[in-house]
A and B are shown apart, each in its own frame.
Chain A
Amino acid sequence: MSDTQLEADVTVNAVGSSCPGPMMDLIGKAKDVDPGTVIRLQSSNEGTEPDVAEWAEESGNELLEVLDRGDHWELYVQIND
């Protein structure tokens, strides 16, 4: 198990949600937070990482780090302007 120095401002727990639930939960949260906010998205869906990576690039946000927590992944996403 890896660890991170990153500190999330907000956590979105989407463990157990099927695609596209986790990414929709992330986007829903992104609408509500201030620029600069780091969101920790927890997902057990293996499609979440490539989808979020692509969305982050498309939307000008940044996928900072992905951690494998065994039964789920944690994706750290910084919401930009």
Chain B
Amino acid sequence: MTERVVIVGGGTAGSVLANSLADEVAAEIDAGDVEVVLINDSEEHVYKPTWLYVPFGEKTPEDAKRPLNDLIDGRVELMIDRVSAVDTDAETVSFDGGRDDLAYDHLVLAMGAQVTPEKTPGLVEGGHHFYGPEATAALREALAEFTEGHLVMSVIGVPHMCPVAPLEFPLMADTWLRERGLREDVEITYTYPINRAHGIESVAEWVGPLMEARDITVETFFNPERVDPDDTVVHTVEGRELSYDLLVSIPPHDGSDVVRDAGLGDDGWVDVDPATLEATAAENVYALGDIADLPTSKAGSAAHYAATSLADRLSSVVRGERPTAEYDGKTVCFIESGEDEATYIAFDYEEEPTPKPPSTLIHWSKLGYNQSYWLTARGVL
């Protein structure tokens, strides 16, 4: 009998898993013992970190996309459709488009995170963000027209995709504005919800002095509850008000109603064992990448490393062997710090990161990795 592995989501997590698994169990697939199905709601794979560079004219939204068909191993069955429901008792997934339900032996949920700016009143009308092709293109236009006033980068949603993006944007904007001779006419403020500049303590300690040196004001304990787009004011839960001329936010994020409806996680993120990535509420269900409720950041590297661990586990499972591979929370994030420099952090469930001094070499390494990412998606790198 054929063991069917169904992967929902063709982002970094789903693609790396599909390709790694197809490679590991190639012989079993060829023999008809194992089937790997990757379901995605679009024919394109999107590398989301590209969007950060669009407002500064360094990339275009098109640069973030490649056809999934070109990236996915030929042994994987690619299905373009949107999963509307998961039944963990019947072990099936259902589709929006009327396609017959698909049975699974092993299900991996990797649908990523969604941004929900509409959850903060006034934010859609009053603010910009860079989490999406249209949004980041609109921000590019707004930034191009922005010559003076108050630029506010406000972190509203935690957790969010890419833990360091909210630090990178104001640091890159600072350099971008300096290069255009506009910096003296622009005030930059960065806001964060808790009592320091970042959730990871060592990153907060590193970035605080850097922000100060770049003349970026840091406001902490700042939790916007609504935006007044007419008066261009952000109002917070703490009763504070902040006027802006250009508001860029990290919007609230959400998981998936499919997860909630399936009873796999009340908040839309899948509750999982952090090491095995197995869902806590159902057998033979796993979650990877941003949709998994893991005690690490929602980062592409976390998705990548977790996917390779899960490929090892699943290849053991489908062969009837005892799985031993575990994910240790490994995450690596480059951090663009402006002035054509960058640093990086590496951490796992146990170890806090220590940011290194930024350098031009690391900046170019990040730009280089953005190209070689396509090898990661193929499961090569």
Query: Are A19 and B238 in touch, CB under 8 angstroms?
Result: no
Query: Are A59 and B239 in touch, CB under 8 angstroms?
Result: yes
**A27 and B221 alpha carbons, distance in the complex (Å):** 10
Is B295 part of the contact surface with A, judged by Cβ < 8 Å? yes
Known A20-B199, A23-B194, A24-B194; contact A60-B295, beta-carbon cutoff 8 A: no
- Chief secondary structure at chain A's binding surface: helix
Distance of B273 from chain A, by nearest CB (Å): 11
**A16 and B271 alpha carbons, distance in the complex (Å):** 10
Query: Are A31 and B194 in touch, CB under 8 angstroms?
Result: no
User: Which residue on chain A has the smallest CB distance to residue B238?
Assistant: A59
Beta-carbon contacts under 8 Å, B216-249 to A: 221, 223, 225, 237-239
Which residues from B are CB-within-8-Å of A19?
A: 199, 201
Q: Which of the residues A16, A30, A55, A60 comes within 8 Å of B194, measured between beta carbons?
A: A55
User: Which residue on chain A has the smallest CB distance to residue B198?
Assistant: A20
Q: Which of the residues B158, B225, B295 comes within 8 Å of A24, measured between beta carbons?
A: B158
**A25 and B201 alpha carbons, distance in the complex (Å):** 18
User: Which residue on chain B has the smallest CB distance to residue A47?
Assistant: B201
**A31 and B296 alpha carbons, distance in the complex (Å):** 25
- Chain A, interface size category, equals 10 to 19
Query: Are B223 and A27 in touch, CB under 8 angstroms?
Result: yes
Is A18 part of the contact surface with B, judged by Cβ < 8 Å? yes
Is A54 part of the contact surface with B, judged by Cβ < 8 Å? yes
Distance of A10 from chain B, by nearest CB (Å): 13
Is A58 part of the contact surface with B, judged by Cβ < 8 Å? yes
Distance of B239 from chain A, by nearest CB (Å): 6
Is A37 part of the contact surface with B, judged by Cβ < 8 Å? no
**A19 and B221 alpha carbons, distance in the complex (Å):** 14
Beta-carbon contacts under 8 Å, A38-66 to B: 51, 54-55, 58-60
Which residues from B are CB-within-8-Å of A54?
A: 195, 221
Known A54-B195, A55-B195; contact A18-B295, beta-carbon cutoff 8 A: yes
User: Which residue on chain A has the smallest CB distance to residue B200?
Assistant: A19
Q: Which residues of B are interface residues toward A (Cβ below 8 A)?
A: 158-159, 193-195, 199, 201, 221, 223, 225, 237-239, 295-296
Q: Which residues of A are interface residues toward B (Cβ below 8 A)?
A: 16-21, 23-24, 27, 30-31, 51, 54-55, 58-60
